[in-house]
Amino acid sequence: MSKHNSAVLRTAPIAIAPKPPQINSNGHRSSNRSSTDVGLGSMNGYDSTESDSSLSGSVMPCSTCLTRRVSCVVNDDEDGCVACQMANFGGPTSFKRTLGLQDDRYSQYIGPTTDFEPSLINLSPFDPQDESLLARGMLRKVSDGDTFLMLPDHTTPGHEHETGDIEEIERLVSPHGRQLIDLYFEVVHPGFPIIQKDVFIEKYERPRREFSPPLLAAMYLLAINWWDYSEELSRSQRPDVRALERIMRSSLADAMFRPKLSTIQAGLLLSQRPEGDQWAPTAQLVAIAQELGLHLDCTHWKIPPWEKGLRKRLAWALYMQDKWGALVHGRPSHIFSSNWVVQPLLPNDFPEGEYDENNVEERLEIERGRTLFVQMIYLTQILAEILDTFYTLQAMQNVTNAGPQGTHLVLSLAKPVQLKLKEWYAAIPASVRMDSSFQAAKTTTSTRLSSIGYLHLAYFATEITLHRRIIRSLAADAQAIDPYVGHICRSAAKARLISAMDFVNRLAPQHLRSFWYFASKTNFALIGTFGSLLWATSPGREEAEWYRRRLGEYRWTLSVSSKPGEGPVLTEFAMGMLDISTGLLQRLPEKPQLSRSGSVPAREAGRRQSLLAMSMGNTLSGSYGGGMGSADLSGTQSTGSESDSSSEDFNNFAPTAGLASMGD
């Protein structure tokens, strides 16, 4: 380096990570603490010391705080009390601290690879509301690492039609709008709590409708499905559903240009209609959710606590929509664990004040619905593991590449997932167990509907999805697998089918007429599809005939469950698919007649069971040899205990299938 160059003074590097101090409107430095950090306690109350220091003795509490029995804290620099700004009550000004539900702006998450350099964002001067105006829009910083771009609604296509759309929607349902909203919250909301009920009702009672048109229309459309459930509505003419659906879809398309949390809510509700399930809209919803940052951890964001809970509930509802949509459509999922950091739901992620404390039945129903929702999320995570482990293109190719060992690979992968399913089922809270619900249906005269059926149907669909892959693998190369291995796998599969069919047979009207999750109509069909697969892959005529008879019984069950007012679309779809699959089975070549005493599984069951138990260092269920031999596979008997025994045998057996076959 030359002497001249070495003398050049160099500047110190610029520190770009720390956030600069905020400048308030008076030009003074301000702390980085958000104004919402003051006085925002839990949903159950507020810090008494802050209340005492902020509340003047001469100030009367607002009616909202009196109703909710919380402290009414009024700050000099705010337009409303603190409680109303957390709970989103008290007029449009209370929206200013929300991120995803502002009345005149929408948000876009700034990711790490966009044209915005994240480390340069902190150089911008942020005001006390954590906002900074740039040429492209307003930056809104919700945490040290997460920033959004806030943009005006009025510049987006179709914004000028919002007021007219709301008026048209209200005209179509008039004068039954409020009754439909009440019906929605009575039937749909308990089992699918994605709406902030207290906020919605408070806004609904204002003279000016401050709603997203597609959300309001979607709630009306879903509620109309239970029109006859209301004695008063059943005497009136139904609204024009087609006209309501047209305006809902057109307004939803417009809302996607200015996405908010209400856009996700509307899309999710539209998908819950019996005929509204489609795969492409789910992809759009996932993309919009990522725009809104729903895939992120919002636990420490500077937004109202109620919005954090709503974001988490919407995120997990979308996760379920994506995973169950992937199952029923046979498509790749759009959500990956590597880009999903949403935290599990906690009790305080659900809003307070959704029920009358004096109404015990209503309180229990809301709590049961929340438990149902959370348990469905847990089950969906297991389903996602099954889809990733067995049904991705790479996973299926791995089994193909394994050649003769493909079935052993499938069985080894199935064992841990099967154990998770078993643990999930064993841990189901009593409030959402079907056995208690079946008993209640016999002993009570209550007309309250129960949605817990969709959870248990989803469980059977998840089990079927796992065993379906095993049966397919067995059928692909029957010579490569030990006959006893095939026998025990088919016995476990049969037990799942029997349990699923028995579940459907025991459903009462209060279950059938309730809200069912969108995947349910396909899940009913999957039971028939699974039975058809077992029929098609049966080794002998007797077993095939047994499945033929059971599928006939299942079709009859579906037909009597499709009475008017008891979910006809739900079960008619399953009947249609069952007719298609059984129709194809008529083309199968006639199967050989196998002697019960001459079959390999019947001769070897006792000896193999002992050898397998010794190799595992574990004793299998003693009921297997007597209750689940080839005589049972012929279809002469089925008992409630065989599901438990074959499940236990399968769980114990799967990881050592290869060892057992090599031992002989």
pLDDT tens digits, one per residue of 497-506? 999 999 999 9
473 within 8 A of 407, measured Cβ to Cβ: yes
pLDDT tens digits, one per residue of 63-106? 445 544 556 665 444 444 555 448 434 344 345 578 999 889 99
Among 93, 128, 155, the domain-final residue is 155
Among 155, 175, 201, the domain-final residue is 155
Distances (CA, A) of 217 to 202, 213, 222, 569, 592: 18, 6, 9, 21, 58
Instruction: Tell me how far apart the alpha carbons of residues 182 and 176 are, in angstroms, rounded to a whole number.
Output: 10
Instruction: Tell me how far apart the alpha carbons of residues 320 and 384 are, in angstroms, rounded to a whole number.
Output: 9
Residue 28 lies in a domain: yes
Instruction: Tell me how far apart the alpha carbons of residues 308 and 299 are, in angstroms, rounded to a whole number.
Output: 7
Residue 299 lies in a domain: no
pLDDT tens digits, one per residue of 620-648? 333 222 333 333 333 333 333 334 445 55
Among 130, 155, 180, the domain-final residue is 155
Residue 415 three-state SS: helix
Q: Which pLDDT value is given to residue 58?
A: 45
The runs of H, that is alpha helices, within 340-392 are 360-390
Specify the DSSP class assigned to residue 29. E
pLDDT tens digits, one per residue of 643-663? 444 555 555 544 433 333 323
Q: pLDDT-derived band of residue 441, with 50, 70 and 90 as boundaries?
A: low
- Residue of 281, 284, 218, 225 whose CA lies nearest to 248: 218
558 within 8 A of 593, measured Cβ to Cβ: no
pLDDT tens digits, one per residue of 156-182? 999 999 999 999 999 999 999 999 999
395 within 8 A of 389, measured Cβ to Cβ: yes
The DSSP-derived string for 262-310 is: HHHHHHHHHHTSTT---HHHHHHHHHHHHHHTTTS--TT-SS-HHHHHH
Instruction: Tell me how far apart the alpha carbons of residues 65 and 41 are, in angstroms, rounded to a whole number.
Output: 14
What's the longest Cα–Cα distance across the chain?
A: 102
Q: Which pLDDT value is given to residue 277?
A: 65
Residue 330 lies in a domain: no
Residue 434 lies in a domain: yes
pLDDT over 70 percentage in the chain: 72
Residue 516 lies in a domain: yes
What is the total count of domains within the chain? 2
181 within 8 A of 175, measured Cβ to Cβ: no
Residue 310 lies in a domain: no
Q: Which pLDDT value is given to residue 81?
A: 56
**Position 447 pLDDT exceeds 80:** no
Residue 362 three-state SS: helix
The four Cα atoms 321, 327, 328, 332 give a dihedral, to 10 degrees, of: 80
pLDDT tens digits, one per residue of 285-321? 999 999 999 999 999 999 999 999 999 999 999 999 9
**What backbone phi and psi angles, to 5 degrees, belong to 658?**
-65, -40
**The pair of three-digit structure tokens given for residue 586, joined into one six-digit string:** 């008529």
Residue 499 lies in a domain: yes
pLDDT tens digits, one per residue of 360-419? 888 889 999 999 999 999 999 999 999 999 999 999 999 999 998 999 999 999 999 999
Q: Which pLDDT value is given to residue 321?
A: 97
The larger pLDDT score, comparing residue 5 to residue 124, is at 124
Residue 375 lies in a domain: yes
The larger pLDDT score, comparing residue 363 to residue 342, is at 342
Show the domain range for 624.
360-663
pLDDT tens digits, one per residue of 9-49? 433 443 444 454 444 444 444 434 333 332 323 333 323 33
Instruction: Tell me how far apart the alpha carbons of residues 194 and 319 are, in angstroms, rounded to a whole number.
Output: 13
